[in-house]
Amino acid sequence: MTMLEVEDLEVYYDTERGAVKAVDGVSFRIEEGENVGVVGESGCGKSTLAKAIIGILPKNGYINGGSIYFDGEDLTDLPEKRRRELRWDEISMIAQSAMNALDPVYTIREQILEAIEAHHPKMGRTESQERIDEMFDLVGLDRERQTDYPHQFSGGMRQRAMIAMALVLEPSLILADEPTTALDVIMQDQILKRINGIQQEVNSSMMVITHDVAVVAETCDRVVVMYAGEIAEEGPSEAIFQRPYHPYTIGLKSAFPNIQRSNQDLVSIGGHPPDLHDPPTGCRFAERCPLATRQCVEEDPPEVETGDLRSYCHHVDDVDSQLRPVADSAE
Ligand code: ATP
Ligand code: MG
C-alpha cells in the first residue's frame, strides 16, 4: 500500500529578489513500511520537501502546485485542526534543528506528555509516563532529565529528546531530516537501529534526509537523488550505489566516501548548483556535467527507466561508454 504519494510538487519561498523555487516539480512515492533516503547537495530542497509534507513551512514558504497524498488524504489542502491530529500521531518529523522544534517554555516531559494526551486522551498518566520513560531509555537520556527545559540540554540531548517525541506515538510516517548529525557515531548507530526496530514493529515508513551514505546504505530501501529542486534520479539503494545512470549521482558517488573503505579522500564535484531564483532551462545539472551537450541546455531532460531506476537525463545511453570507465578507475 502507498503511504505517501508526492505528485509534481512545487514549493517556493517569497523573497525580495522574487520566488526561490526550492522544490520544483518533484514526484515520488513511499510505500508502507518502506525507508526512502533523500540525498543531494546543500540547498537542493531536501528540508523544504520534508517541511512541506508535514506542514511546517516558514511564513514566506508556500506550495505553488502539485499534491501530497498521505494515506489517501491531500496534505496540501488540510484544515489546521486535521493537521494537528496527524502531527506526531500519524506523521512525525525529526527536524534538522532540534532547538526550533522544541518549545522553550515547557519542560521536555510536559511537551511529550502533551503530545500523548492530545492524541490519546484516554491513556492514563501511568501509561503515558511509562511510554516517556521507555523512550528516554531508548534514546539514551537519563530519565531524571525529563523535567529539564530544552535550553538545559546540549545539542545532542535535544536531538535525542526530539527523536523520543517523534517515536513515542508510533507514527505511520517518520520524516527524519539529518536525524543523527548532532550525535556521536556510536549513538548514531544505536539510535538508527532502534528507529528501524520501532518501524518494523509498527510497519511505519520513513523518509531520511542525510549526507551520510552509510546511513542510507544501511537503512534505506530506495534513494531519491535531488539536484537544484528537482529529482535527478531515483531507485533501489543498491542500484543507486552500485550502478547509477545520472551523471550527477555518479559524481556524488565518487564524492561520497566509499562505504567500505572509510578513509578515502572526498572528491567533490566541481562548480556550484544554479540559483533557484532563476533556474536555467533544460537540465539544471548541465553546467557541471561532463556529458552535457547543447540539447541538455535547451531541452528538459526526459524520464528514462533503466531496470528499477528512474533517471532524468538526455545521456543515459552514453554513461556506460563515456562516464563509467572514468568513474570506476577513480575508485
Ligand atoms: P541542507 O543540506 O543544507 O540542509 P536542503 O537541501 O535542506 O539543504 P533547503 O533548506 O530545503 O535545502 O533549501 C532549498 C533552497 O531554498 C535553498 O536555495 C535555500 O537557500 C532556500 N530557502 C530555504 N529556506 C528559505 C527561506 N525561509 N526563505 C528563502 N529561501 C529559503
Ligand atoms: Mg536541510
Q: Which numbered ligand comes closest to the C-alpha of 212?
A: 1
As given in the structure block, the three cell numbers for residue 249 are 549521482
> Is 229 within the bounds of a domain?
no
CB-CB contact of 317 with 326 (8 Å): no
Clarify whether residues 54 and 163 are in a common domain.
yes
CB-CB contact of 36 with 206 (8 Å): yes
pLDDT digits (tens, 9 = 90+) for 70-81: 998 999 989 999
Residues with CB under 6 Å of ligand 1 are 13, 15, 20, 22, 42-48, 58, 60-61, 96, 276
Collapsing DSSP to helix, strand or coil, 37 comes out as: strand
Does 326 score more than 60 pLDDT?
A: no
Give the distance from CA 210 to its chain's centroid: 7
Clarify whether residues 62 and 202 are in a common domain.
yes
- Residue whose CA is at the smallest distance from ligand 1 atom 2: 42
**Residue 303: domain span:** 244-330
Q: Which numbered ligand comes closest to the C-alpha of 45?
A: 1
Mean pLDDT of the chain: 88
- Residue whose CA is at the smallest distance from ligand 1 atom 17: 43
Clarify whether residues 131 and 214 are in a common domain.
yes
> In the chain, what percentage of residues exceed pLDDT 90?
63
- Report CA(296)–ligand 1 centroid distance (Å): 25
Clarify whether residues 77 and 159 are in a common domain.
yes
> Is 325 within the bounds of a domain?
yes
Quote the CA–CA distance of 206 and 35 in Å, as a whole number: 5
> Is 225 within the bounds of a domain?
no
Burial (CB count within 10 angstroms: exposed 0-12, middle 13-18, buried 19+), residue 19? middle
Mean pLDDT of 316-324: 88
Quote the CA–CA distance of 203 and 1 in Å, as a whole number: 11
Give me the CATH number covering residue 158: 3.40.50.300
Quote the CA–CA distance of 120 and 72 in Å, as a whole number: 23
- Residue whose CA is at the smallest distance from ligand 1 atom 4: 42
- What's the start-to-end Cα distance of the chain, in Å? 39
> Is 236 within the bounds of a domain?
no
Does 104 score more than 60 pLDDT?
A: yes
Quote the CA–CA distance of 143 and 183 in Å, as a whole number: 19
Collapsing DSSP to helix, strand or coil, 313 comes out as: coil
Clarify whether residues 154 and 104 are in a common domain.
yes
pLDDT for residue 265: 42
Which of 14, 17, 46, 181 to mutate for ligand 1's pocket (most ligand atoms within 8 Å of CB)?
46
Clarify whether residues 81 and 210 are in a common domain.
yes
- Report CA(201)–ligand 2 centroid distance (Å): 28
Show Cβ contacts of residue 326 under 8 Å, excluding neighbours closer than 6 positions: 290
pLDDT digits (tens, 9 = 90+) for 217-235: 888 999 999 999 999 999 9
Does 254 score more than 80 pLDDT?
A: no
> Is 227 within the bounds of a domain?
no
- Report CA(299)–ligand 2 centroid distance (Å): 29
Does 214 score more than 80 pLDDT?
A: no
- Report CA(64)–ligand 1 centroid distance (Å): 16
**37-41, 100-104, 121-125: least confident range:** 100-104
Clarify whether residues 254 and 211 are in a common domain.
no
> Is 226 within the bounds of a domain?
no
Clarify whether residues 69 and 144 are in a common domain.
yes
DSSP 87: B
pLDDT for residue 261: 46
Quote the CA–CA distance of 127 and 143 in Å, as a whole number: 15
> Is 239 within the bounds of a domain?
no
Clarify whether residues 97 and 64 are in a common domain.
yes
Half-sphere exposure of 114 (CA within 13 A, CB side): 10
Clarify whether residues 215 and 280 are in a common domain.
no
Clarify whether residues 201 and 255 are in a common domain.
no
pLDDT for residue 266: 43
pLDDT digits (tens, 9 = 90+) for 255-307: 655 554 444 444 467 888 999 999 999 999 999 999 999 999 999 999 999 99
- Report CA(229)–ligand 1 centroid distance (Å): 10
Which of 10, 11, 13 to mutate for ligand 1's pocket (most ligand atoms within 8 Å of CB)?
13
pLDDT digits (tens, 9 = 90+) for 167-212: 899 899 999 988 766 666 666 777 777 778 878 877 899 999 987 7
- Report CA(8)–ligand 2 centroid distance (Å): 20
pLDDT for residue 291: 93
Ligand 1: nearest atom to the Cα of 41: 2
Output phi, psi for 135, to 5 deg: -65, -40
Among the candidates 220, 252, 271, a domain finishes at 220
Total tally of structural domains belonging to the chain: 2
Mean pLDDT of 111-129: 92
Clarify whether residues 150 and 59 are in a common domain.
yes
